[in-house]
């Protein structure tokens, strides 16, 4: 849609609908407000945008079968979706090194004993018995199962980040081509209605030519402590640099919205707070060891988990959220790693990370990942030659410089019944749906995040990390 048509449908027509005026009258009103010096209070809606938001029920002519490798948090998200649409997809195998996790998922899906596995490698010791595998193991356990699955003829739903090294990422791409199999990368934000709408408005020409983007990923202080100081992604050498572990979604979204290759990237950032020299005097190694600073420390594990009940997914609580039970978990291995003082962990991930990118048409993007914020999500400002967009991760406002009438997109995805439980702004389930459809039809074109497009934003992330370490601007 060209800019004029877009303004006609979204501007004049939507304004007319909102005000109960015919389109011509609404257009005249818009012209009057354009002459005003101050911006009008009145905001019209962008919610009529025709987005590819459709039923989450997969459109398939057959049932596909899936093996879930890694029955943790993400594995359960996808398996939970599959269970709702048995005519299209069935979980027929489960692998997890934690026996109780494997059993729980296998029982829920009626998986026979011979297809319940421990380590991922056991899955591939038996002849191929399903259409696809979900690789939802930790970052450093993506490469080997994905490569083996492709070799054996499985399609793959692969959690992000693809793999901790650039070489491995590129090898997975080559392997997918070699065996002509589908690899869908879980860049779930591409499937979230908010980001679909944002991209659609930019593509429509509503802001003229896109010139630059300011994008921020506020991690939220307690989330940072949980995942990147105490938790699974605390150490960049054991997992993946935080720019990929946390922010490969953001690099991917920037590349996707700008819709041009990134040419150069320069990055900076460091670990400012979470290190031993910043520990307050007398702080013990664990919060559970009677810390004298417990009352004033915002990172106090007992307060975060037992009182606030945040990030409980890692404790295998089986629904029991009693504070004493959580405290007991904090005293028990392996869960006691989450009781560690944030100043006494084996972490090295930066807590602030800035990067600047230049794209092929000269567009620029500035991206900040920030640990020290009270909220999570995303904040995005998009500057165009004819307009501006300001978004907070759930709603955004479009400002057209000519009409000066702000228009708001604020569709509440959480209120669409089918999307209930679909995390990441609603993106989790549509990704799973598109994967099921792509495998059933053997058509990767049904996916927005194939390995071919996803690899590019990973390469941007590796270049950013090289730049952060070397101080040089890197070519992508």
Ligand X SMILES: NC(=O)c1ccc[n+]([C@@H]2O[C@H](COP(=O)([O-])OP(=O)(O)OC[C@H]3O[C@@H](n4cnc5c(N)ncnc54)[C@H](O)[C@@H]3O)[C@@H](O)[C@H]2O)c1
Please state the closest distance from residue 277 (CB atom) to ligand X, in A: 29
Please state the closest distance from residue 166 (CB atom) to ligand X, in A: 16
Please state the closest distance from residue 231 (CB atom) to ligand X, in A: 9
Do the beta carbons of residue 134 and residue 68 sit within 8 Å? Answer: yes
Half-sphere exposure of 325 (CA within 13 A, CB side): 10
| Nearest in space to 47 (alpha carbons), one of 399, 400, 409, 406 | 409
| Binds ligand X (CB under 6 A): choice among 6, 85, 120, 399 | 120
Does position 136 interact with ligand X (CB under 6 A)? The reply is yes
Interacting span for ligand X (CB under 6 A) from 40-48, 89-97, 355-363, 462-470: 89-97
Closer to ligand X by Cβ: residue 91 or 141: 141
| Binds ligand X (CB under 6 A): choice among 1, 21, 51, 98 | 98
Look at strands 407-409 and 396-400 and give their pairing: antiparallel
Encoding tokens for residue 79? Answer: 């398996």
> Using only C-alpha atoms, what is the Rg of the chain?
24
| Binds ligand X (CB under 6 A): choice among 155, 159, 351, 370 | 159
Q: How far is CA 5 from CA 2, 347, 390, in A?
A: 5, 52, 22
| Binds ligand X (CB under 6 A): choice among 14, 44, 88, 95 | 95
Q: What number of residues does the chain have?
A: 476
Please state the closest distance from residue 73 (CB atom) to ligand X, in A: 3
The 10 Å CB-count burial string (b at 16+, else e) for 269-306 is: bebebbbeeebeeebeebbbeebebeeebebbbbbbbb
Do the beta carbons of residue 458 and residue 169 sit within 8 Å? Answer: yes
Do the beta carbons of residue 189 and residue 198 sit within 8 Å? Answer: no
Does position 234 interact with ligand X (CB under 6 A)? The reply is no
x/- track of binding to ligand X for residues 359-378 (CB under 6 A): --------------------
Closer to ligand X by Cβ: residue 29 or 223: 223
Does position 119 interact with ligand X (CB under 6 A)? The reply is yes
x/- track of binding to ligand X for residues 179-198 (CB under 6 A): -------x-x----------
x/- track of binding to ligand X for residues 291-320 (CB under 6 A): ------------------------------
Rounded distance, CA 73 to CA 312, Å? 11
Closer to ligand X by Cβ: residue 159 or 200: 159
Return the residue matching tokens 């549509």.
430
Look at strands 132-135 and 64-69 and give their pairing: parallel
The neighbour count for residue 377, using CB atoms within 10 Å, is 16
Does position 139 interact with ligand X (CB under 6 A)? The reply is yes
Closer to ligand X by Cβ: residue 30 or 163: 163
| Binds ligand X (CB under 6 A): choice among 3, 29, 101, 190 | 101
Look at strands 364-370 and 396-400 and give their pairing: unpaired
Q: Which residues inside 420-439 make contact with ligand X, applying CB under 6 A?
A: 424
Encoding tokens for residue 351? Answer: 């807590």
Return the residue matching tokens 């101080």.
471
Do the beta carbons of residue 420 and residue 81 sit within 8 Å? Answer: no
Alpha carbon of residue 86 to chain centroid: 26
Does position 158 interact with ligand X (CB under 6 A)? The reply is no
Do the beta carbons of residue 115 and residue 67 sit within 8 Å? Answer: yes
| Nearest in space to 9 (alpha carbons), one of 199, 206, 194, 193 | 206
Rounded distance, CA 105 to CA 76, Å? 8
Please state the closest distance from residue 406 (CB atom) to ligand X, in A: 31
Do the beta carbons of residue 31 and residue 41 sit within 8 Å? Answer: no
x/- track of binding to ligand X for residues 39-78 (CB under 6 A): ------------------------------xxxxxxx---
Classify burial at 465, counting beta carbons within 10 Å of its beta carbon; exposed 0-12, middle 13-18, buried 19 or more. buried
Please state the closest distance from residue 79 (CB atom) to ligand X, in A: 11
Do the beta carbons of residue 339 and residue 331 sit within 8 Å? Answer: yes
Please state the closest distance from residue 109 (CB atom) to ligand X, in A: 16
Closer to ligand X by Cβ: residue 217 or 437: 217
Does position 384 interact with ligand X (CB under 6 A)? The reply is no
Please state the closest distance from residue 282 (CB atom) to ligand X, in A: 33
Does position 80 interact with ligand X (CB under 6 A)? The reply is no
| Binds ligand X (CB under 6 A): choice among 53, 67, 89, 141 | 141
Interacting span for ligand X (CB under 6 A) from 32-40, 90-98, 333-341, 362-370: 90-98
Beta strand spans in 325-363 (E): 352-359
Residue sitting closest to ligand X (CB)? 72
Interacting span for ligand X (CB under 6 A) from 58-66, 132-140, 329-337, 338-346: 132-140
Please state the closest distance from residue 159 (CB atom) to ligand X, in A: 4
> H or E element: which one contains 369?
strand 364-370
Closer to ligand X by Cβ: residue 7 or 339: 339
Closer to ligand X by Cβ: residue 248 or 306: 248
Write out the residues near ligand X by the rule CB under 6 A: 69-75, 95-98, 101, 119-120, 136-139, 141, 159-160, 186, 188, 232, 245, 424
């Amino acid at each position: 849609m060209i800019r004029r048509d877009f303004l006609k449908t979204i501007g004049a027509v939507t304004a007319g609908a909102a005000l109960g005026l015919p389109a011509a009258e609404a257009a005249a009103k818009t012209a009057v407000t354009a002459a005003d010096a101050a911006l009008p209070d009145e905001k019209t809606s962008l919610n009529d945008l025709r987005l590819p938001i459709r039923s989450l029920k997969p459109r398939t002519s057959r049932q596909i079968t899936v093996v879930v490798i890694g029955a943790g948090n993400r594995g359960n998200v996808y398996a939970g979706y599959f269970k709702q649409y048995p005519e299209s997809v069935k979980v027929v195998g489960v692998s997890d090194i934690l026996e109780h996790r494997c059993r729980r998922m296998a029982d829920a899906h009626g998986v026979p004993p011979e297809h319940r596995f421990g380590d991922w490698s056991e899955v591939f010791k038996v002849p191929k018995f399903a259409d696809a595998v979900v690789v939802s193991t930790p970052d450093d356990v993506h490469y080997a199962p994905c490569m083996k699955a492709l070799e054996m003829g499985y399609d793959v739903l692969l959690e992000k980040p693809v793999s901790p090294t650039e070489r491995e990422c590129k090898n997975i791409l080559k392997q997918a081509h070699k065996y002509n199999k589908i690899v869908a990368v879980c860049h779930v934000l591409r499937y979230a209605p908010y980001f679909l709408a944002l991209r659609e408005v930019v593509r429509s020409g509503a802001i003229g030519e896109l010139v630059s983007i300011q994008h921020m990923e506020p991690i939220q202080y307690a989330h940072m402590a949980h995942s990147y100081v105490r938790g699974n992604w605390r150490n960049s050498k054991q997992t993946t640099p935080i720019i990929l572990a946390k922010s490969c979604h953001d690099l991917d979204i920037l590349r996707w919205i700008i819709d041009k290759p990134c040419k150069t990237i320069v990055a900076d950032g460091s670990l400012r707070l979470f290190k031993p020299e910043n520990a307050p005097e007398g702080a013990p190694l664990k919060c559970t060891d009677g810390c004298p600073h417990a009352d004033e420390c915002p990172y106090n594990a007992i307060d975060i988990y037992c009182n606030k009940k945040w990030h409980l997914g890692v404790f295998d609580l089986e629904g029991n959220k009693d504070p004493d039970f959580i405290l007991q978990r904090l005293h028990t291995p392996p869960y006691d790693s989450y009781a560690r003082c944030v100043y006494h962990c084996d972490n090295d991930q930066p807590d602030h990370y800035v990067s600047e990118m230049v794209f092929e048409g000269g567009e620029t993007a500035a991206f900040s990942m920030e640990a020290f914020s009270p909220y999570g999500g995303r904040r995005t400002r998009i500057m165009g030659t004819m307009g501006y967009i300001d978004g907070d991760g759930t709603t955004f406002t479009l400002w057209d410089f000519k009409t000066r009438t702000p228009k708001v997109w604020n569709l509440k995805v959480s209120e669409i019944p089918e999307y209930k439980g679909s995390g990441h702004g609603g993106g989790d389930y549509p990704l799973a749906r598109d994967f099921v459809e792509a495998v059933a039809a053997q058509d990767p074109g049904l996916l927005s995040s194939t390995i071919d497009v996803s690899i590019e934003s990973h390469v941007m992330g590796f270049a950013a990390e090289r730049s952060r370490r070397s101080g040089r601007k890197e070519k992508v």
